[in-house]
Structure 1
Amino acid sequence: MNLFETYKQKLKKENEKRIFHFSLFTFHLRSVIIFSFSLFTFHFSSAQQLETFIEEALANNPAIQKFELKYSIASEKVNEVNTIPNTEFGVGYFASEPETRTGAQRFKVSAKQMIPWFGTIASRENYVRSLADATYEEIVIAKRKLITAVSQSYFKLYANKATQDVVAENIKLLETYETLALTAVEVGKASAVDVLRLQMRQNELVESQQILEQQYLAEQTAFNNLLNRENEVSVTVVGTLGIPLEAIDINTENLVLHPELLQYEKRYTAIEQSELLNQKESNPLIGFGLDYINVASRPDMVFNDNGKDIIMPMLAVSIPIFNKKFKSKSKQNKLEQQEILSQKQELLNTLETLLDKAIKDRISSKISYNTQIKNLRQAKNAEEILNKSYETGTIDFNDVLDIQELQLKFQMKQIEAVNTYYVQTTIINYLTKDPTGI
């Protein structure tokens, strides 16, 4: 009893207020149970808060800006291909002037312009636009992934904060248990070991609380980086979240319109345009030109056209006689289309698996949540039994600790179930979100 000598006066007062302390104990346990049932009521304000974070991330995240710039570059290439071959100019000087009937040729100036076959330039523009369309899907995919990442990080912060609150509640509850144990020791109904065991349990919970605080700060840094802002910015999460009682309809038909799949379709279209361009480029090139030859007058003769310059219009045709490369390009295009179809089917299978798993995991989280409600109700029944035991003077603090540990376990599982529910919801939204949206 030397361990409790310093508490002697306090224990006497506590013994006189025994009923008050046990009532406080009952209040704490009941308050935690009530907290568990009311913890997860979802408010519109919380959804609005998350939406604000998402809007900030979409506006500031450098990954989105990177893909937007990439799309702008791809779109600008349309102007790059909307051109014809360079006009050729030539100037020549006759070192040895050839004599003609009308005089000696002194120098020559020529100009020539080759023009692609009809529709070739339009085909190039269509091909480049189709590539830009496929690049645009990268923006849509990046935005969906960012929304998912921000949402999941937010729910991790919520789960951490909710766990901290539960741990804090249990620390207070153990303080009440400790007071009861000290009172019981004074009147000979408990031993010093009971008090030490309670204190060690408090130490473990304090340790968990401190670790959770550090984990929260780490996740807060990750969250702020997604929003492209300072790491130290404090993030306040909603106090309560709830699992909806009614089942939420999932439009699985939207999966086939997922931007990752649409990107393959647009790549397929781009290859079709590439083949059309290949066919156009296999046609001849038509060229128009003009030669001007300066002719000097013959000084010793007088006749019509003396020293008359020569102007010679020209028509040229460039025919790809050796067109093996065009045939090879056509074969490559067909093979690439087959490859894209295989890749698309493979991705569709993967996305269907992910969606099915997310749906099943969300259902499982709801089952777990409901199970923890039942467990916490049984914890209340155990509390009533302890109440009667205390009244008869036979309280067992080992049972008190067991119930407290079970209670904490149930509460954490309930928080984990809510977190899992919303994390899986973000995956489902990523896969089946209305294609008219982001």
Structure 2
Amino acid sequence: MKKLNLISCLFFLTAFVNAQELQSFIEEAIQNNPEVQSFDIKYAIAEEKIKEANWLPNTEFSLGYFVSEPETRVGAQRARIGVKQMLPWFGTLTARENYATSMADAEYVEIAISKRKLALSVSQSYYRLYAIRAKQEVLEENIRLLNTYERLALTSVEVGKASAVDVLRLQIRQNEMQQKKEVLEEEYSAEQTVFNNLLNTDKNALVTIPTEMNIPEIDPINTLDGLALNPELLKYDKLYESVAQSELLNQREGLPMIGFGVDYLPVSERTDAFPSDNGKDILMPMVSVSIPIFNNRYKSISKQNELRQQEINLQKDERLNVLESALSKAVSQRNQSRIAYNTQEQNLKQAKDAEQILIKNYETGTIDFNDVLDIQELQLKFELNQVESIQIYYIQSVLINYLVN
């Protein structure tokens, strides 16, 4: 069931675009990421502590030699050899195992949280890489468009319908775009390193990303009900249970301990008389009870456990508020990105219509290259904003799915 929940989480995180490629990246990250591996080791240690819980106090062995041998009717006692074993009260060992198991369960939830956070980080970095590459393609397309306008301007200069200043303006704009493109290349290189480090692989390894993405017409349905099952909240339930098991263990440890043992005393034979059982060794079984009369320690631990449970409940409530706020903000930003995307789509269509009008004006010899630059700048702005909206949409979508699935 635990594995099924994790697989379901990863499915929802990658259910949008190019899910198969992103899913493979996430699986590789979970397999190789050092942080996840460290949580796996912590869980293995916690499981090992379950075996450790089944322990008994050390067996006591004693050996004494009588310097001055006490005389008895059957002879002098020469030494005392003893062995003793204390045993905890009934149910104490089971209480220890239950407590250790509850701590292991809490560690397992930490593994689930780390894997979900890693999947979220990989997905968000993946979409940032897409956005950077898409912006570069937009700039490249606009540079080619400006090259076309530059040729038109040169032709217009030759016939006296444009000035050399118009050509220089177009060239300056191309230089600015080339600069932005090179800056984006640096950003892509840095983000690629971040992505590959999440996968714990070669930082220069090439990352396959989609060439085109769009915002779907309908958003996935998400409800607040799933928020209650988020591992970040389930962690507090497991911690609460571990404190409850700690209290049960504390109550058991506050009960008496029973000891069983035996003493063996070798006896020398008497030479001055010959009583019955002369020189017979003594074997003395013993039973002892250890009673915690001064038990303020156990009362204090019980009070600490009670306070600890109150603390955990408050921490859970606080974390729930944080997650609800994050969910509300993510949903709002995803909705805003859809609104912005649709607006940019409409603006982009109108900018292209204006561009066509300018091209027709060129054919009639009345083109104004200042208008060309203005329209081109608007078109570039709309296209870049559209890419940004797509990035925000998917980054917020994977965050929403992290919170509620």
Specify the alignment match of 2:212 in structure 1.
240
Aligned residues: 392
Specify the alignment match of 1:278 in structure 2.
250
Q: Which residue of 135, 148, 151 corresponds with 1:179?
A: 151
Are 1:229 and 2:201 counterparts? yes
List gaps (5 residues or longer) in structure 2. 1-13
Return the offset for 1:291: 0.5
Q: Which residue of 54, 57, 62 corresponds with 1:82?
A: 54
Q: Which residue of 129, 132, 142 corresponds with 1:170?
A: 142
Give me the whole-angstrom Cα distance separating, in 2, the residues matched to 1:144 and 1:45.
19
4+ runs of 1 displaced by more than 2 Å?
42-45
Return the offset for 1:304: 1.1
Give me the whole-angstrom Cα distance separating, in 1, the residues matched to 2:178 and 2:149.
16
Specify the alignment match of 2:165 in structure 1.
193
Q: 1:229 to 1:392 in 2, by over 3 A?
A: same
CA deviation profile, 1:52-90 (whole Å, cap 9, x unmatched) = 111111111111110000000011001111011111010
Give me the whole-angstrom Cα distance separating, in 2, the residues matched to 1:336 and 1:418.
45
Q: Which residue of 47, 50, 75 corresponds with 1:103?
A: 75
List gaps (5 residues or longer) in structure 1. 1-41, 434-438
| Counterpart secondary structure, 1:295 | coil
Specify the alignment match of 1:411 in structure 2.
383
Give me the whole-angstrom Cα distance separating, in 2, the residues matched to 1:309 and 1:138.
61
CA deviation profile, 1:164-214 (whole Å, cap 9, x unmatched) = 100000000000010000000000000010000000000001111111111
Return the offset for 1:251: 3.1
Q: 1:43 to 1:336 in 2, by over 3 A?
A: closer
Q: 1:44 to 1:317 in 2, by over 3 A?
A: closer
Q: Give yes or no for contact 1:243–1:418 (8 Å, CA) kept in 2.
A: yes
Q: Which residue of 336, 339, 347 corresponds with 1:375?
A: 347
Specify the alignment match of 1:129 in structure 2.
101
Q: Which residue of 267, 287, 301 corresponds with 1:295?
A: 267
Give me the whole-angstrom Cα distance separating, in 1, the residues matched to 2:313 and 2:358.
67
Give me the whole-angstrom Cα distance separating, in 2, the residues matched to 1:331 and 1:405.
69
Q: Give yes or no for contact 1:109–1:292 (8 Å, CA) kept in 2.
A: yes
> In percent, how many aligned pairs have the same letter?
60
Q: 1:43 to 1:335 in 2, by over 3 A?
A: closer
Give me the whole-angstrom Cα distance separating, in 2, the residues matched to 1:392 and 1:43.
51
Q: Give yes or no for contact 1:131–1:267 (8 Å, CA) kept in 2.
A: yes
Give me the whole-angstrom Cα distance separating, in 1, the residues matched to 2:284 and 2:359.
116
Q: Give yes or no for contact 1:127–1:274 (8 Å, CA) kept in 2.
A: yes
Give me the whole-angstrom Cα distance separating, in 2, the residues matched to 1:272 and 1:239.
53
Specify the alignment match of 2:4 in structure 1.
none
Q: Which residue of 316, 329, 345 corresponds with 2:301?
A: 329
The aligned runs of 1:4-403 (5 Å cut-off) are 46-403=18-375
Q: 1:83 to 1:43 in 2, by over 3 A?
A: closer
Give me the whole-angstrom Cα distance separating, in 1, the residues matched to 2:212 and 2:110.
35
Q: 1:136 to 1:334 in 2, by over 3 A?
A: same
Give me the whole-angstrom Cα distance separating, in 2, the residues matched to 1:237 and 1:277.
54
CA deviation profile, 1:317-365 (whole Å, cap 9, x unmatched) = 1111101111111111111111111000000011000001101110110
RMSD: 1.3
Return the offset for 1:403: 0.6
TM-score normalised by the chain length of structure 1: 0.88
Give me the whole-angstrom Cα distance separating, in 2, the residues matched to 1:214 and 1:287.
73
Return the offset for 1:381: 1.9
The AA in structure 2 aligned to 1:304 is S
The AA in structure 2 aligned to 1:132 is A
Return the offset for 1:45: 7.6
Compare CA radii of gyration and give the structure with the larger one: 1
